[in-house]
Structure formats: structure tokens, C-alpha cells
Chains A and B, each alone.
Chain A
Amino acid sequence: MVMRMKISPRTVLIGLDGVPHSLLLDLKKSGCIPNIAKILQNGFLGRMEVCIPEISSVSWTSFMTGKQPGEHGIYGFMDLKPGSYDLFFPNYTHLRVGTLWDDLATQCKQSVVINMPATYPARSINGALISGFVAIDLDKAVYPVSLAPYLRRLNYRIDIDTARARTDHSFLFRDLEETLDTRRRAVEYLWETIDWDMFCVVITGTDRLMHFLWTAYEDRSHPQHADFLNYFRTVDAFIGSIYERFTALDGYDPIPDKFYMISDHGFTAITSEVYLNAWLEQNNYLRFQRTPPRSIMDIGPGSKAFALDPSRIYINLKEKYPLGCVDGKDYEEIRHHIAQGLSNLTFDDGRPVMRKVYFKEELYFGPCLETAPDLVALSNHGFDLKGKVSSRTVFGKSDLSGMHTQDDAFFYSSSGAPCGSIYDAGKILFNGFFEPENEIKGPSLGT
């Protein structure tokens, strides 16, 4: 255990992957999350909008950099190698801009960051980092590497076994509990061994559970309804114990010392999955060389556009892609046609699928605009956009029951500082360290 030399301000951030503002309020009302409810009695809690596409890698990167994808360059879990249709995994070492903890390091502040998505492979940090999803090899997921043997002894788990948990739900709950338990032990260890200024931990199990079993939450008669709520009770106890440690720190002072909780997107039930490549195919913008295609690499000649997960559409420009066939002069026309066509897409019951189809320049600016998708679709709740290539139909279902939402993430600050956009959250945390102690901005809205 280190001798605690630090005096205020100290900051703790809990990330709750995928937890919607609406769910948090509902769980609070039903008494499932008493510890969180107690924390929420003071400070600010509000609904927060996130980036588009509304997926974890883009959203957490936007949080940690305070920048949008045009600046940080992360548009999805996978991206295209320049000049090809081959996919690569844009990882943490590709990130060209600094993070919140990089900025804090310039102020000689130490950070502990545990299970932060989109930080694999781990790079150096003033403090300690354990990467979160997608992270494969524990040795490459920790900084400093000397942490790896200790985590291994703890049986530390980066993530649950999603492939198995997706269909084996009794395993899912067991694995969620075990994974969170190892996370708790890593928290306890790093809490004591590093003289941190900022302590960050993200819980990913919430996202997994809601993908696989959102129906278990909405449907009270669902056999796993109680299990669903129980997992949130476990998460609540986890947060409660961290909060208790936080307020018990030497010289704790609720004004300079700050506690935050945020999510990176919300969740809702899936009415239908929507396969954008199937729509492009049916509307003669896309054809594949083989049936069924295995990946976007099977794109055929004459294709004008293609989609990548979850909602990114690329115009197959002549000078940009090997089989590109769209002339620069036709770019705008094709883009408008696709945007128009997708905006008019309706489900069987007549409901419009899209909330809005964006041109890239409406969403992004900066040095990475070149690699941005040309169009990005934002769907209405219930329509889960997919870039998968092998579907022949535009609509379909899988065994997943929950999908992400862009407009229903949440932000909580003990200081009362409000935040309505994920792009601002990191800055608020950073600035929180350097505020005059008696000046707290923002009213307490305490929803």
C-alpha cells in the first residue's frame, strides 16, 4: 500500500457501458439501485447525446479525447485499409490525438484507467491502464506490463465469453458476476497501490446483458427478469463500495473531490434489424462477386456504394477504391439519391426506419475527414442498422434483443456540472481539477 501523499482534488469516474438514462431512472424508482440512488441525491443527472455511429469504440474515444471522429479518426470497430476493401482494426496505437489521461499527465496527475473500451493495445500512461473491449491478449492490454502477472493471479477477465453467453443465458449471468468480481479485485488493488488523481473504471457487462436480454428487462414475466435486475443490484453494490472508499479517502472534501458516472450510449428493444447492404443491393447500388458474400471484399464491379457496421455508407469512388466506378462529378448526385432513398425506407407497418441520414460534413470535421464514411444513418428506436453482407432481405431478426440508442445516454456529476454531449464530458472532468474550489458551475437539476 502506498503512503497517500495526494491531497484534493481527486476524481472518480464510473463508466456504465450502454446504460440508458431512462433505465437508470426506472431502476432508481423501483429500488434496485439503492447505492446509486443515494449518490444521485446530490449533483447533476441528465440525459446525454453521444456520437454517430453510436457504438462503444467511437463513443468512448470521443469521451476520452473530447473530439469528434473527424479529429480522432475512429469511426467504427473495423475500418477499411486505405485503397482497399480489406478491413483492419483501428486500435489505440492508431489514435492520433491525446486523451484525458494524457492531458492530466502534463499536469503531473496520475490516472488509473480500468477496462476502458478502445484502448487496446495499451500504450503508456502516467499511472496504470487495463484496456477494455476489444482487447484480446492480456499482456498487450496492460500498462505497465508488470501488472499482467498480478491480474493473471486474480483470474482477471477483460470481458465475458460473449460467444457462449449469447445463447447460454445461465452461463451469461454466471460469467457476468465472475467478470465483475475480478474487476472489483483489480479496482481494490490499483486503488491502494497507485497514488492516483483520477480513477476510472468501466463496466461492460451492462452492455452485454442488454444486447442479449433486453426483453428480460421489458417483460416482467420473462424467466430471466429477476436475473436481469439482480445483475444491476450487483453493479450497484460495486459502485456503492467504490463510492464508500472514495468518501473515506484521507482529507476527502466533496467540493474539490468529484464523482462522475456516464454511459456511452443507451439501449432499446429491437423491432427489426436493418441490413443496409441488402438495401443497397436491392436498389442497384451494390453487387457482390459471390453468393453469399463473405465480407465487403467480395464486392463486384459496377458497385456504386457499400456499407460497413453499423450505419456507415461509402460511395465507391473511382480514385479511392480498387473497383471504384463512381466519377467525382457524380458523387453528390449518388449520395443524395441514397440519402433520399434510405430516408424514405419504411418497415412493414409503415413506420419510417431512419431518423436522419447525414452527409459526412454535417457530422465531422478535421484532419481525419478523408477516411470518414460518406453517409451515416441514424435510425429511429427499434431499427438496428447492420453492415452485414450476407443477408438477402433488408429486414430480419437475430437472437439479439437490444440495440443502441444515440440520444439516451446519461451523465452524472457530483459537482453539479451539467453535460449534454459526450464530446464535452472529458473536458468537464479535466476542468474539474482546476476550478476555484468555491465556484461550482451549473444548477443541480437532479432528475
Chain B
Amino acid sequence: VHVFGALIFEKHFVTQDAELCLPNLTNKNRSMYMQEVHKTDSVHTLRQKIERSHEIIEEAIQMFPEDQLCMAWTGGKDSTTMLWLYRSVCSKLGVRMPRAMFIDEGCVFEEIVALVDLVRNKWNIDVEILKNRDVSDKAEEIGSLIQVADLNERNRAELSKIGFTEDAFVFEPESFVGNHLMKTAVMNTFLIKNKIKALSTAIRWDEQTARNQEDYFSPRTDPPHTRVHPILHFTERDIWETIHEYDLPFCSLYVQGYRSLGAKGSTTKISDIPAWQQDLENTPERIGRGQDKEKIMEQLRSLGYM
């Protein structure tokens, strides 16, 4: 107990020290600095990584009022682990857990719905299910045609914001238009309506190259809010070790071999062995999500091709 306490004290001290230095650093420097800390600060063991996440979460809870902090929960392994980390910190501090938001993009795996139900009951999570019904109600199924004129003003404004000028589009959650309306727009509406100042998401540095530059606290402009990323320093392997060591609930799709979960129609499994038994270090985590081609097309679209 004594050793454990000393460790916490020491960690806390380091954080305090780091806090004092941070305001003078630019965002980019801060990121490098945090990664330096991450590297040199011997945050090697799982316990230390969890401790670091606890510190970030505690900082977030102290920085933002409870009703203005929200956790983004997808039902996947990362965000469920993040919820568990919040739960530990809140119980230590004796405060209420921030609410969670879950985006139903119109094509959710039944197994994810089951996991979300299980966890919300088990941990008593206040979860808001967000769905852009104005769009989804007009589509009988994936692939249905939706007339822009039938949508409400808010959705029409979102379409013109992304430069979409056609009369109709096909309902598909992971297409450019679909993703924007069913995920981005619905989330932004929620953030604005509830005056959310901080949204905590479970992205990790090792997940994608594009995430390398993320910080634990990262400002966003539209709408203005802070993104809190408490598990940036976790690797995919760390997540599974945490889940198994602390016996956390997880979605049954991972047992079937899915590595990373997206919309039902566009996520495939690349192996039949459980996710955590796959070669995590040498194969890409998001390979089952039609990544390269889809991403290439996204990038091309953003430059006006396709």
C-alpha cells in the first residue's frame, strides 16, 4: 500500500510539474512534450498507463462542469475501456459520472446494441442515443434514395456546408454524405444543444498515422469545444490486456475475429480467431474496415475528384 501510494504521489507530482510548464507551449510542442513524457517517464507498465489516463480524466473533470463533459461511446473496446477508467476516477472523487453519447448511424451491429445495454445497466451509465431520424426515417433501407427537399432545414444546411448540391443522395452511413449527416452533424447538434464544452473520445496514438499529432486536450472550433483523449498512449495490446486483467465487458464480435468495429455494412472480419489472439503488432488494426481504398477515395473526394 505504501509503495502504491508513493507511486501515485510521484506521478501526481510529475503531472503538477508538467502542468506548470504547459501553458507556455504551443499545441504542437505540447504534443511532443507529452510524448516525451510518455517515453522517458517510464510509463511502461499497464498500471502506469492506467494511472496516466486517470490523471487526464481527473484533470478533465476538474476543468469542466459535470453537465458540460461528455463521453463518446461506440460500444467498441476502446471507448468501453475509457468508460471504465472514468468510472474508477469518479468513484475515487465521489462525483457523478459524465453522461455518454452513442451515435446510431443507421447500421449498428446487434452485438454492439447488446453490449451497450449490458454495460449501461451494469455500470449505471447515463447514455444518450443520437440518431439523425430526419434522415434515417426517410430511408427504408441502406441504399434508399433520399430527396434533399424532404429533409429539415438543419440537415439541408449541413449538406450545403459540405458542398453537396444535388437533389438527392443514397442513404449509406459510411459514404461521404451519409457519414456527415448521420455522425458529424448529429454529434455537432448534440454538442451545441447541450452546451457541451468537452467531449472525451477513445482514440489512440497507435491506431492511425493521422492520430499521431493528437494531444490529450485538443481544441476544436466547429462547434468550439475541447476534445479529451485519455487513452492516447494505450496500444491495441494494452486495451486487450486491460480488458482481460480487469475483466471488463466487451462486444462478442471481437471473439468472432473482428479487430475494429464500424458500421455493419462495411466492417468485415479478417480472421476467425479472437481479436486479442491475432498478430496485433504486425497487422493493421483497421484492415477489416475497407480502409485504404475508402480512405483514398475520401481524400480524392476532398480535392474534388470522384
Contact = CB atoms under 8 A, between A and B. Distances in A.
A161 interface: yes
B299 A398 contact: no
Contact of B221 (A159, A171, A309, A399): A171
Contacts of A310: 305
Interface stretch (A36-44, A286-294, A340-348): A286-294
Contacts of B291: 136-137
Given A136-B291, A157-B213, A166 B302 contact: yes
B205 to A, nearest CB: 9
Contacts of A396: 165
B213 A155 contact: yes
Contact of B293 (A89, A133, A155, A391): A89
Interface in B268-306: 284, 291-293, 295-306
Nearest to B291: A136
B166 A158 contact: no
B163 interface: yes
A77 B145 contact: no
A355 interface: no
A158 B167 contact: no
A105 B32 CA distance: 36
A424 interface: no
Contact residues on A (Cβ < 8 Å of other chain), bracket: 35 or more
Contact of B222 (A89, A139, A168, A397): A168
B212 interface: yes
Nearest to A162: B302
A13 B269 CA distance: 44
Contact of A398 (B165, B292, B297): B165
A386 B167 CA distance: 18
Nearest to B31: A155
Nearest to A56: B303
Nearest to B180: A163
Contacts of B93: none
Given A309-B305, A310-B305, A134 B163 contact: no
Contact of A136 (B31, B165, B168, B295): B295
A153 interface: yes
A24 interface: no
Interface string A134-164: 1011110000000000001101111101110
B298 A163 contact: yes
Given A134-B299, A136-B291, A392 B167 contact: yes
Contacts, number: 102
Contact of B292 (A87, A137, A384): A137
B303 to A, nearest CB: 6
A162 B303 CA distance: 7
Nearest to B177: A390
Nearest to A207: B303
Contacts of B297: 78, 87
A291 B168 contact: yes
Nearest to B304: A400
Interface string A83-124: 000011100000000000000000000000000000000000
Contacts of A168: 221-222
Contact of A292 (B168, B221, B304): B168
Nearest to B36: A153
Interface string B165-190: 11111101001000000000000000
Contacts of B167: 292, 392
A21 interface: no
Contacts of B32: 155
A152 B209 contact: yes
B210 A161 contact: yes
A353 B84 CA distance: 61
Given A137-B284, A158-B209, A178 B166 contact: no
Contacts of A390: 166, 169
A292 B170 contact: yes
A167 interface: yes
B169 A292 contact: yes
Contacts of A392: 166-167
A398 B300 contact: no
A158 B163 CA distance: 25
A211 interface: yes
Contacts of A398: 163, 165, 304
Contact of B303 (A152, A211, A388): A211
Contact of B306 (A156, A384, A388): A388
B35 interface: yes
B18 interface: no
Contacts of A178: 28, 213
A150 B295 CA distance: 24
Contacts of A139: 209, 284
B161 interface: yes
B157 interface: no
Given A166-B163, A292-B166, A392-B166, A136 B296 contact: yes
A137 B209 contact: yes
B299 A167 contact: no
Contacts of B168: 291-292
B14 interface: no
Contacts of A291: 145, 168
B145 A391 contact: no
A133 to B, nearest CB: 7
A183 to B, nearest CB: 14
9 contacts: A78-B300, A89-B296, A137-B292, A155-B32, A155-B213, A166-B163, A171-B221, A290-B170, A387-B306
9 nearest A-B residue pairs (beta carbon): A138-B209, A162-B302, A163-B302, A399-B163, A400-B304, A309-B305, A136-B295, A134-B296, A155-B213
Given A78-B305, A137-B291, A178-B213, 4 more contacts: A87-B297, A155-B32, A166-B163, A400-B304
